């Protein structure tokens, strides 16, 4: 009885909190490093897989709050490439949980199905066991037409691997090499090499690399949250989070609740003006840089054309 009253009270408070936050700018994209599942399990005296299971429940609750707030993109760090170094037992348990929860998410009763969430699993999926990769592909295919919110789940992911991969793809694109020809270009002479270098110099840009990041299609995160009191980014979205509002909170991920999210978004709203200012400054700096670059190359062509005309005129 008391518990029912308590739950109803919490729901009412969350409802009011959401209305308050909706009066200000709401982040379009929230990224989360869900940290502290094992410490939660150790403190609660339960096994670690159950700790990660409670972490998944916390993700679902947070996702529901994000939906109420109208957040369009949520990106979570579910498994880093470095996590493969954990004990065989824990990696297997986590992979099994991942497969189970991905299937649940997109089942008939799953949140993604019920609320129109598009699930994208990002990372080097070739590193995953076959069955987890199959679940990931199924989840992505089943939800590809959903458009209310995008849930990016980063698995077998590190930001540095993502940037290296994107750079490789951008180079292949610039040189016109399809992935089927990924054996690499055979440069036949020195001229070919020089031309390729020129192409790379002009075509490998910030945009060409961003087009190949796993998160291409999602805007950059406005807010990046890390729980459990750690104040590191641990190789998560290093490129995309360059202007994000960073929020480190002491709570362990399974205990993350509305009051933590409320406080983080409230802080984000307080710093919104100055964040916008940095964004605009960075963007206009980039536009000026691009303009100067193309201007230099235009001038170069201009001078070449002029000296050609002069040579024609005066022999
Ligand atoms: C970090 O806490 C958490 C993880 C490595 C796993 C998180 C995974 C989930 C919550 C399941 C997600 C599943 C889907 C399908 C999205 P930790 O293990 O590093 O804990 P610690 O910091 O206390 O050691």
> Would residue 76 count as lying in a domain?
yes
User: DSSP assignment of 199-228, as one string?
Assistant: HHHHH--HHHHHTTSTTTTSPPPSEEEE-T
CA of 53 to the centre of ligand 1 (A): 9
Give the active site residue among 35, 42, 192, 201.
35
Asked if residue 87 has pLDDT above 50, the reply is yes
Residue 153 pLDDT exceeds 80: yes
Q: Is residue 70 part of a domain?
A: yes
Residues present in the chain in total? 315
CA distance 286 to 293: 10
Most distant CA atoms of the chain, gap in Å: 101
Q: Is the pLDDT score of 180 beyond 60?
A: no
Answer whether residue 41 is part of any domain.
yes
Mean of pLDDT over the chain? 88
Identify the H or E element spanning 157.
strand 149-157
User: Average pLDDT, stretch 80-86?
Assistant: 97
Best substitution site from 40, 43, 54, 78 to test ligand 1's pocket, by max atoms within 8 Å of Cβ?
Answer: 78
Q: Which domain holds residue 116?
A: 30-166+217-268
Question: Which residue puts its alpha carbon closest to atom 11 of ligand 1?
Answer: 56
Average pLDDT in the 305-309 region?
60
The pLDDT of residue 182: 43
- Does residue 121 lie in a domain region? yes
From the CA of 37, how far away is ligand 1's center (Å)?
6
**pLDDT tens-digit profile of 204-218?**
999 999 999 999 989
- Say which CATH number the domain at 255 has: 3.40.1180.10
Pocket test of ligand 1: the residue of 31, 35, 117, 140 to mutate, having most ligand atoms within 8 Å of its CB, is 35
Q: Which of 222, 215, 203 is nearest to 293 (CA)?
A: 203
56: CA distance to ligand 1 center in Å?
Answer: 8
Ramachandran angles phi, psi of 74, nearest 5°:
-130, 125
In a domain, 222, yes or no: yes
Domain count, the chain: 1
199: in domain: no
| Position 19 in a domain | no
Beta strands in 171-305 (DSSP E): 223-226, 245-248
pLDDT, position 308: 55
Write out residues with Cβ below 6 Å of ligand 1.
Answer: 34-39, 52, 55-56, 59, 78-79, 83, 97-98, 101-102, 153, 228
Q: Could you tell me the pLDDT band of residue 143, with boundaries at 50, 70 and 90?
A: very high
> Is position 3 within any domain?
no
pLDDT band at 176 (very low <50, low <70, confident <90, very high): confident
Instruction: Please tell me the distance between residue 6's alpha carbon and the centre of ligand 1 in angstroms.
Output: 28
192 is catalytic: no
Give 286 or 113, the one with higher predicted confidence. 113
Ligand 1 atom with least separation from CA of 101: 15
pLDDT at 27: 97
Angle, helices 190-203 vs 159-174, to 10°: value is 120
Query: What is the whole-number distance in angstroms between the Cα of residue 251 and the centre of ligand 1?
Result: 14
Write the DSSP symbol of residue 110.
Answer: S
């Amino acid at each position: 009885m008391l518990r029912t009253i308590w739950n109803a009270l919490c729901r009412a408070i969350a409802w009011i909190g959401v209305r308050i936050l909706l009066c200000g700018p709401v982040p379009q994209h929230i990224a989360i490093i869900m940290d502290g599942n094992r410490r939660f399990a150790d403190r609660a005296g339960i096994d670690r897989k159950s700790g990660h299971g409670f972490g998944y429940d916390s993700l679902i609750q947070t996702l529901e709050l994000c939906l109420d707030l109208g957040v369009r993109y949520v990106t979570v760090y579910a498994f880093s490439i470095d996590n493969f170094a954990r004990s065989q037992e824990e990696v297997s348990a986590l992979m099994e949980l991942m497969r189970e929860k991905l299937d649940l998410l997109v089942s008939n009763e799953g949140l993604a199905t019920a609320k129109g969430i598009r699930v994208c699993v990002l990372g080097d999926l070739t590193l995953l066991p076959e069955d987890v990769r199959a679940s990931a592909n199924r989840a992505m295919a089943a939800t590809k037409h959903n458009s209310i919110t995008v849930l990016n789940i980063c698995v077998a992911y590190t930001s540095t691997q993502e940037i290296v991969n994107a750079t490789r793809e951008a180079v292949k694109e610039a040189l016109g090499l399809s992935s089927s020809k990924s054996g690499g270009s055979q440069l036949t002479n020195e001229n070919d090499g020089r031309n390729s270098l020129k192409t790379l110099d002009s075509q490998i840009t910030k945009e060409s690399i961003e087009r190949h990041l796993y998160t291409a299609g999602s805007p950059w995160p406005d807010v990046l949250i890390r729980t459990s009191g750690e104040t590191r980014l641990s190789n998560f979205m290093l490129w995309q989070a360059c202007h994000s509002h960073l929020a480190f909170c002491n709570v362990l991920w399974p205990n993350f609740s509305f009051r933590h999210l409320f406080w983080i978004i409230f802080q984000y709203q307080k710093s919104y003006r100055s964040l916008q200012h940095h964004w605009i400054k960075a963007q206009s700096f980039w536009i000026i840089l691009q303009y100067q670059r193309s201007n230099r190359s235009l001038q170069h062509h201009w001078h070449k054309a002029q000296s050609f005309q002069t040579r024609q005129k005066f022999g």
